[in-house]
Structure 1
Amino acid sequence: MANNTFKYTQFKLEKLNKVEEILYELEEYKPLTLRQIYYQMVGKGFIPNNKSQYNMLSELLKWARIDCRISWNDIEDRSRFYNSPETDRSLDSFVKAWDDSYLSGFKLDYLASQQNYIELWYEKDAITSVIRKIASKYRLSTVAATGYNSITFQHDFTERINNKPDKQPVILFASDFDPSGLDMFESIQKTINDEMGFNNRGIIFRRVALSRKQIDEFHLPKSIDAIKPKDSRAPKFIKEYGNIAVEIDALKPSDLQRIVEDAVLEYIDPLLLEQKINEEKLVLLNIQEFLKDFYVFKVSRKWNLKVGG
């Protein structure tokens, strides 16, 4: 253990036990963010919803990881990024890695035969793991529109739909329920449709989360960051919804996955999807057979050379 002065009081140990319960319950969605864990703690009534408790939890989880009470792999900070070059230790390691991954790397485009071209756009990195689960399952493109999305990303989207003139474009959007989250969605529509001139393309823009109805349905706690009075978007928001703001992090990952996946399935023909999945399975079987024959040929050739030589 690290040499530190942090004291694990009975109160803090009880809270740490509750964190471990949450990590166990959300095993398939790990690593989680601090904020996701915090809102699960609040939602289950384990701690009050205020800045003081958030800071307490942050400090507790810091030392719990340093002291190996919680794995470093259970929690991540998605606001910071580390990039390293892809390298191989040797030719043998490269060949083995390729041999282990060639089948997993083959993926058919499930949307190729569909009428709709669907993209998942989301405001916060905190829900990336959930969004990517759905995107991987249905082979969808994703856009992390953190902050206010750049004009470059919106232009890139118009290029993608220009390359699919026979498809119905669909953007499914997920964000916080607050002035910026709602305004961001409206801003994206305005930029693409009005300012970039794609109004006649009939793009479907749909905000799938977070809504006031979902907040009430799942009894979600308010954001610890209150609506700022100086925010120019606040008056309109407060007039329509009241002085309430909720972060999408507060939604249980499994509930968010179900909400987004249900929305995706509304724009997918299940029969065409099943055909593509079966086609992919058949292609993978053919690849396996080909490689099996290839290896047999390679081994027999090497053996014949040894015998003949």
Structure 2
Amino acid sequence: MTAKRSSGMAARRAKLGLLDAFPRLTGQTKYTVAMATKGIRVLELRLRILDLLRGYDVLTVRMLHYRLVSTFDYPNDRNFFKRTQYSLKVLRRLFPELRAKFEDPTRQVSNPMMPRPGIELWHEKSSLEVFSRRLAERYHVPTLAERGFGSLTMFFKAVVRAKKRGVRKILLLTDHDPSGLLIDRITRREMPIEVERIALTMEQIRRYRLPPLRVKRSDSRAKEYIRKFGDNAWEVEALPPKALLSIIRKKIVENLPKGFLEGLKSQEEAARIVRPLEREMVRGLREEAMKMRRKGLSAQQILSALRRRFRPRP
């Protein structure tokens, strides 16, 4: 047996042994990944990604990176993040259904007839907004991504706009870094509404033993930050996803107006009850509109006639 053939057989045995180490993945899934992957370490990373994703409905790429770092002791650096991004790109191509875990192409707007609690959930990163939106919408809490919050002036103007929308309090998610902690300085000033930074805090960093990143010294605020906290910074997405959702849920519930949940439940129940009737009414309106259209009526004439006929009595 030649050395080349012997080496090839050893590589195949190693692959088979690795596939056996992931019993929760189907045989077809493992075979598909193995056929599209060269290198035992790359295959191991991709199988670990698939195994981790089984436990989450929605995730950001940065969160996935931190789950891999925390669970398997991969390096928390830019090089490994790029490797994760590339492997995820390959896996999305192989398994298109994975895209739903990282994207939200069918964002639904909350029913405007439903009550709003007067609070909003703001994020420094748009990817986090996608992650938390589903939870926030359960309580009809609007979400907003204000990337980077550029400056004190920019943030203050955003808060003023929120007050005009009827918001009484903002729950804020930022990294623990020079830019993220800029908000601490802002909220010590007189603000038109209350702003509470719910993550990332030093207590959360210590509790979950989050992996650090080096502070970007190019940031104009780095000098003051390093004097207070040292050379390390931490990202919100380093938090375990379930822990982050728990933090958000707890703070939302704490800040809901008294009786809000009971009222919301009643309105949602009423909406559920009339939904079949709404569908019947829509069908009826469309049929009437088609009849009028055949008679040559214009769109405006059809709308006027339908309004007179179906508008609810006061």
The answer, yes or no, to whether TM exceeds 0.5 is yes
The aligned residue for residue 145 of structure 1 is 146
The aligned residue for residue 20 of structure 1 is 50
Letter in 1 for 2:222: A
Greater C-alpha radius of gyration = 2
Distance in 1, matches of 2:38 and 2:155, equals 47
Q: 93, 99, 107: which one pairs with 1:73?
A: 99
The aligned residue for residue 208 of structure 2 is 218
Distance in 1, matches of 2:86 and 2:50, equals 15
Contact persistence 1:108–1:280 (CA under 8 A): no
Q: Is 2:114 aligned against 1:109? A: yes
Distance in 1, matches of 2:91 and 2:267, equals 48
Equivalent residues in 2 for 1:127-276, closer than 5 Å? 127-149=128-150, 154-155=156-157, 157-162=159-164, 164=166, 169-183=168-182, 185-186=183-184, 188-189=186-187, 199=191, 201=192, 203-223=193-213, 226-269=214-257, 271-276=259-264
Letter in 2 for 1:134: L
Letter in 1 for 2:230: G
The aligned residue for residue 29 of structure 1 is 58
Q: 26, 48, 52: which one pairs with 2:79?
A: 52
Distance in 1, matches of 2:158 and 2:174, equals 21
Shift of 1:173: 0.6
Distance in 2, matches of 1:60 and 1:29, equals 18
Distance in 1, matches of 2:148 and 2:169, equals 21
Shift of 1:264: 1.2
Distance in 2, matches of 1:227 and 1:37, equals 21
Give deviations 1:33-68, integer Å, cap 9, x for gaps. 2x22211100112412233322333333344445x1
Aligned residues: 251
Distance in 2, matches of 1:105 and 1:249, equals 26
Q: Secondary structure at the match of 1:205?
A: strand
Name the one with the larger helix percent: 2
The aligned residue for residue 88 of structure 2 is 61
Equivalent residues in 2 for 1:280-295, closer than 5 Å? 280-289=268-277, 291-292=279-280
Letter in 1 for 2:78: K
Q: Which runs of 5+ in 1 are unaligned?
A: 1-5, 83-100, 303-309
Distance in 1, matches of 2:157 and 2:58, equals 32
Change (3 A) 1:293 1:162: closer
What TM-score, normalized to structure 2?
0.67
The aligned residue for residue 65 of structure 2 is 38
Q: Secondary structure at the match of 2:147?
A: coil
Distance in 2, matches of 1:180 and 1:236, equals 11
Shift of 1:280: 3.1
Change (3 A) 1:218 1:65: same
Q: Secondary structure at the match of 1:44?
A: helix
Shift of 1:17: 1.1
Percent identity between the aligned chains? 24
Alignment RMSD (CA, Å): 3.5
What TM-score, normalized to structure 1?
0.68
Distance in 2, matches of 1:65 and 1:258, equals 28
Distance in 1, matches of 2:247 and 2:146, equals 19
